[in-house]
Structure 1
Amino acid sequence: MGAGAVLGWLVLAALVPGAAHLRAGWRRTGLVLISCYAAALLGLLAFVLMNDIGALAGSATQDSWLTSIMVGTIVLGLLWFGLIVHSFVVLRPGRLPQSGQILTGTMAGLLAVVVVVPFGWAAQTASASRQALNDIFQTPENEGESPAPEPKPEDPWAGRERVNILLLGGDADDNRIGVRTDSMNLASVDVKTGNTVLFSLPRNLEDVRFRPGTPMARHFPNGFDLPKDANGGSSDLLNSVWEYADAHPEIFGGKQHQGPKVLMDTIGYTLGLKVDWYALVNMWGFARLIDAIGGVTITVEQDVVFGKYNEGLVKAGTRKLKGADAMWYARSRTYSDDYTRMRRQRCVLGAILTQADPATVLTRFNQIALATKELIRTDIPRPMLKHLVPLALKVKNAEVSSVQFVPPVINTGYPDWDKIRDIAEKAVRDSARPKAPVAASASPSSSPSVSPSPRRTAKKQEKQPGEDDPTKGLTEGCGPSSAKG
């Protein structure tokens, strides 16, 4: 047998364990190796076919599964390495000329290393995933908070027909005290179909009402109302609720870190929905996440200026944006307003949803896992990931609509709270219907449920033109790039 034949049989043995042993006359060993390999492949195929892919992906978020994957791939890698070495030995390369021995020995060593690489990558991926999940999903910070109970397998949603998750973009930074939630979107997901409504609330919503009977409602009976700042600005808008609650533990009997809980309850009360969990992402964490998936293709309808001195520019046109440019496109208010910014944020979210396909996530998993560590805070229980992951896969292929509570749909200075709840209720109801139409109309309410505060009544009422349908497709009006899969 020449050097070429030895190398050929080694390569075949790396793909079909036992092939080299059969060629070398180790018949029994070769048949056992091939039989075990075939049985393992058939067993793996049967396991995949008999289980839902989403359920498998969800199970893979559990600590025990990740540990098993990590240990299992390391063991398999070592076994495969040993298999290549033993296959080389049984082929008796010592009968070759010295030059042939050097060549085959070198190539066999390289091949042994190469076959270990995929197993090492799988083990490292499982380890990175485990570490990222442990970093993100920690014990709640609220005092007296007990760990969430394990979800029941027969009904992990505890009777919920929908899951409502508050997605927040915060501006926390080293030179800034507290967190202002400048991006607030509530994703309401049908647990059976995955159909989702994304409710976008403006940062400058005034006179925010708190649920009756809560500490904040007792403290602000006429709505969130504070004196003007020294520079004439307002610190009593919706985006300040988290920061204010965190800064005033005396309102809650001395309890610390009440901001997330208060904002969740406030937005839930505003929309007439129960918010189950929240996730707050730092703006630069958002940028790193986009970089981790390789950027997003966005149609920028006109130049977007940003920066302290207007030195930054995201040029108009359809292109793939890196994380920093996508972040500034989503949040810049220079020569613009909050409502235009909310629309751009919706376009970026839609682009991420449609363009972050499973292949992209898999090939860039380590980068994504590291980027998700920038997630500042979440109260999603770790055990719920097993069920949220398959639900997220449903959402990707389901109907996703968007409702933005901006003028002329509502007046942010004088919000009609009943109307907001009517719109939210109708959008959720339409989303629950099979093959629901994207558009939904809202019937205006005769009067708000709570009268405005005296300070607000002195303000000039905004003139509102004819109202448009508030419920739209998530990527409607975002250009063709956001619809790419």
Structure 2
Amino acid sequence: MPQEKPDLRNLREPVRFKRALTLLLMTLILPGSAQIVAGSKRAGRWAWRVVAGLIAIIVFLVVLALIWRAGTINFLAQPGTLRLVQVLLILLAVGWAALFIDAYRIAQPLTLERNHRLMTSILDGALIFVVVSALIYASVFVNTQRDFVASVFGSGHSSKAEKGRYNVLLMGGDSGADRIGTRPDSMTVASINADTGRTVLVGLPRNLSKVPFPAGTAMAKQFPDGFQWKNCTPNCWLNGVYTWATSHKDLFPGDPNPGETATMQAIEATTGLKINYFVLIDLAGFRDLLNAVGGITLDIGRRVPIGGGSSPIKGYIEAGKNQHLDGYHALWFARSRADSSDYARMARQKCVMSAMLNQLSPQTVITKFQGIASASKEVVKTDIPAGQLGTFTDLALDAKKLPVSSFSAVPPLIHTSNPDFAVIRAKVAEAIAKSEALDKGGSGGDGKTSNTPSSTASHPSSSTSKKPSSTKKPSATPTTPAAGVDDVASICKA
């Protein structure tokens, strides 16, 4: 039999008003409870089933994240999963709004005095607005995430860790109006321990000459003695590989990224590391990305010019500790060449990378994700597949807890015009070995008490020297950064 509608006219006015408010608040706290108490119990039970199902899914995902964080992020980052979540949020908003409207009907507002009826109507409208707005905003956030993943990350094959490490080539490309195409002026390999996230940054100068290529590749056949030809400088530097390969796409049939592929091959042969993926960041848009995350804070050893070269110097980034830089100033700090060398520029770029790694918290990414995603779609190009997003997010969270070490293939150890690639490969292997020793309990005995790789001398033969090292703090913009294995924090102090 259908449930009879209770007659509330026999109740006192304050009781009817309090009952109306209670039904609305019950719908806010536990959707469907107002229907269970005073309306359609069937509708209320369905609402409770939905709520119970959502709670069960959330609890399952939380437990799964505690057990397998990378896999959970990979699952949640899939465009299909994100689309499903977006649709569910919209349906939840519609259903919850319907329950509020029904709870208002159950309260029989026409039995209330005019002022109480007005207050009940306003409260019901406000609750509907808040709940629906929050869920619709969440659906927009999810859609932005889905669009970001689909736009930035590829759908290609995953690359397995080599000897327990992921090696990701980070390139900063300038593609301004005064340049022909994109040329990566900044090239750094982030070698990441696949278990702990401990990272070594391997910096390679843009003016490295005669770079080799792996045997059997198209580039090795074109340049059997390394990337060079008569009177080629500066076009035959390392950063020229990208442009040359892009202009000779016929050598890379079916490859959508010939410039990146050739550069990765050159760096593999140069460093002895298998490069799993690349990330190309357009420096012209890097400013917007840093602004989206609120900038970074750095210790700056000496002031860095803004401008210079073919344009006048417009000002300076002043020296000092805990200097907060917005996107504009952080970009100039990383790219300025005036009054310094390319090698000092490489050191500053490592400082910016390290600062972003250490200062970008999950809370910052979540609260400012809309801006980050909008900027990143214009700034970042990568072949990391969406299915690996969770793996690298997980490693980045682990890496935040550990110091970053580095090696730069720069003078005086490496003569960029005639480099000794055997020495470069040996030094890269040394840097990685020292980093891995910390995870295995080397040096300090437990992997924790000695968490800063010791600096080596800038020339192999000087490693036996027993001269005490200088106690002077290095500048964030050294004229020539040490060519040995350094803790990045040591070159980013004022």
TM range, smaller chain: 0.7 to 0.9
* Counterpart check, 1:120 vs 2:136: yes
- Identify the residue that residue 260 of structure 1 maps to in structure 2: 260
* Counterpart check, 1:310 vs 2:310: no
Q: Residues of 2 paired with 1:212 and 1:54: CA distance?
A: 35
Letter matched to residue 316 of structure 1: A
- Identify the residue that residue 234 of structure 1 maps to in structure 2: 234
User: How far has the Cα of 1:138 moved from its partner?
Assistant: 4.6
- Identify the residue that residue 205 of structure 1 maps to in structure 2: 208
- Identify the residue that residue 381 of structure 1 maps to in structure 2: 385
Name the TM-score, length of structure 2 as normaliser: 0.81
- Identify the residue that residue 420 of structure 2 maps to in structure 1: 416
Q: Residues of 2 paired with 1:89 and 1:10: CA distance?
A: 10
Contact 1:69 1:126 survives alignment (8 Å): yes
- The 1:61–1:252 alpha-carbon spacing in structure 2 relative to 1, beyond 3 Å, is closer
1:121-140 aligned at under 5 Å gives the runs 121-138=137-154
* Counterpart check, 1:104 vs 2:120: yes
- Identify the residue that residue 219 of structure 2 maps to in structure 1: 216
Q: Residues of 2 paired with 1:241 and 1:474: CA distance?
A: 28
User: How far has the Cα of 1:227 moved from its partner?
Assistant: 4.7
- The 1:251–1:28 alpha-carbon spacing in structure 2 relative to 1, beyond 3 Å, is closer
Structure 1 regions of 5+ residues with no counterpart?
140-146, 447-464, 481-485
User: How far has the Cα of 1:174 moved from its partner?
Assistant: 4.0
Letter matched to residue 13 of structure 1: T
Contact 1:439 1:469 survives alignment (8 Å): no
- The 1:130–1:26 alpha-carbon spacing in structure 2 relative to 1, beyond 3 Å, is closer
1:5-16 aligned at under 5 Å gives the runs 6-7=20-21, 9-16=23-30
- Identify the residue that residue 462 of structure 1 maps to in structure 2: none
- The 1:208–1:110 alpha-carbon spacing in structure 2 relative to 1, beyond 3 Å, is same
User: How far has the Cα of 1:328 moved from its partner?
Assistant: 0.9
Q: 1:349 aligns with which of 340, 353, 356?
A: 353
SS at match of 2:324: strand
Letter matched to residue 80 of structure 1: W
- Identify the residue that residue 81 of structure 1 maps to in structure 2: 97
User: How far has the Cα of 1:22 moved from its partner?
Assistant: 5.7
User: How far has the Cα of 1:69 moved from its partner?
Assistant: 0.9
Q: Residues of 1 paired with 2:215 and 2:42: CA distance?
A: 78
Count of residues in Structure 1 that have an aligned counterpart in Structure 2: 446
Q: Residues of 1 paired with 2:16 and 2:368: CA distance?
A: 42
- The 1:256–1:379 alpha-carbon spacing in structure 2 relative to 1, beyond 3 Å, is closer
Letter matched to residue 296 of structure 1: I
More moved, 347-356 vs 392-401: 392-401
SS at match of 1:309: strand
- Identify the residue that residue 456 of structure 1 maps to in structure 2: none
Q: 2:79 aligns with which of 40, 63, 70?
A: 63
Q: 1:439 aligns with which of 448, 453, 457?
A: 453
Q: Residues of 2 paired with 1:8 and 1:341: CA distance?
A: 64
Contact 1:438 1:471 survives alignment (8 Å): no
User: How far has the Cα of 1:137 moved from its partner?
Assistant: 3.1
Q: 1:45 aligns with which of 59, 83, 87?
A: 59
- Identify the residue that residue 299 of structure 1 maps to in structure 2: 299
Measured against aligned partners, the alpha-carbon deviations of 1:85-120 in whole angstroms (never above 9, x if no partner) come to 112221222221122212221221121010112211
More moved, 37-46 vs 377-386: 37-46
Measured against aligned partners, the alpha-carbon deviations of 1:449-474 in whole angstroms (never above 9, x if no partner) come to xxxxxxxxxxxxxxxx9995722223
Letter matched to residue 291 of structure 1: N
* Counterpart check, 1:187 vs 2:190: yes
Letter matched to residue 15 of structure 1: I
User: How far has the Cα of 1:62 moved from its partner?
Assistant: 0.9
- The 1:251–1:227 alpha-carbon spacing in structure 2 relative to 1, beyond 3 Å, is farther
Letter matched to residue 266 of structure 1: A
Letter matched to residue 399 of structure 2: V
User: How far has the Cα of 1:206 moved from its partner?
Assistant: 2.2
Contact 2:174 2:184 survives alignment (8 Å): yes
Q: Residues of 1 paired with 2:128 and 2:295: CA distance?
A: 36
More moved, 240-249 vs 108-117: 240-249
SS at match of 1:168: strand
User: How far has the Cα of 1:25 moved from its partner?
Assistant: 7.2
- Identify the residue that residue 469 of structure 2 maps to in structure 1: none
Matched-pair identity in %: 33
Letter matched to residue 53 of structure 1: R
Contact 1:228 1:235 survives alignment (8 Å): no
SS at match of 1:204: coil
1:384-403 aligned at under 5 Å gives the runs 384-403=388-407
More moved, 427-436 vs 324-333: 427-436
- The 1:260–1:39 alpha-carbon spacing in structure 2 relative to 1, beyond 3 Å, is closer
- Identify the residue that residue 453 of structure 1 maps to in structure 2: none
- The 1:408–1:119 alpha-carbon spacing in structure 2 relative to 1, beyond 3 Å, is same
Name the TM-score, length of structure 1 as normaliser: 0.82
